[in-house]
Structure 1
Amino acid sequence: MRAKVHVTLKKGVLDPQGEAVRHALGALGFDDVGEVRVGKVIELDLSDEDRGTAEARVSEMCEKLLANTVIENYRVELE
């Protein structure tokens, strides 16, 4: 089973990388872009066959390592 974890900054948390991308897009002529938020996607190959077990394990991984839950949200997709 494959898991994708989408990690994004919570609303209200300053995103300097997103602001740098927005500024660079403006410099390239893409002036119609408003706020830009940058996140990350983490892909995991899992040996778990049970979806419930896999989702619980990946959520535990996120809580312990993959996401800083003070300033980041995460969403898990299983394939």
Structure 2
Amino acid sequence: MSNQQPNNPLHGITLEQIVTRLEAYYGWDQLALHVNINCFKSDPSVKSSLKFLRKTPWARAEVENLFIRTFK
């Protein structure tokens, strides 16, 4: 059997890669405007963002959707 997921645009991309690419593309200020969460506004870092997004499914979904709209 194949482990490929042709209908999943995020297959093989880690959350860290998503946050890093979005930050490089938008910067923290613009990223906070697109996804209104404090970890992008107040003393942002990849580490703090990952910690929050892993615990908060709705915020993670918003970040993943922004990634798909931006890069796919």
Instruction: Normalising by structure 1, report the TM-score.
Output: 0.24
The structure showing larger relative contact order (alpha-carbon pairs under 8 Å, at least 6 residues apart) is 1
Bigger Rg, structure 1 or 2? 1
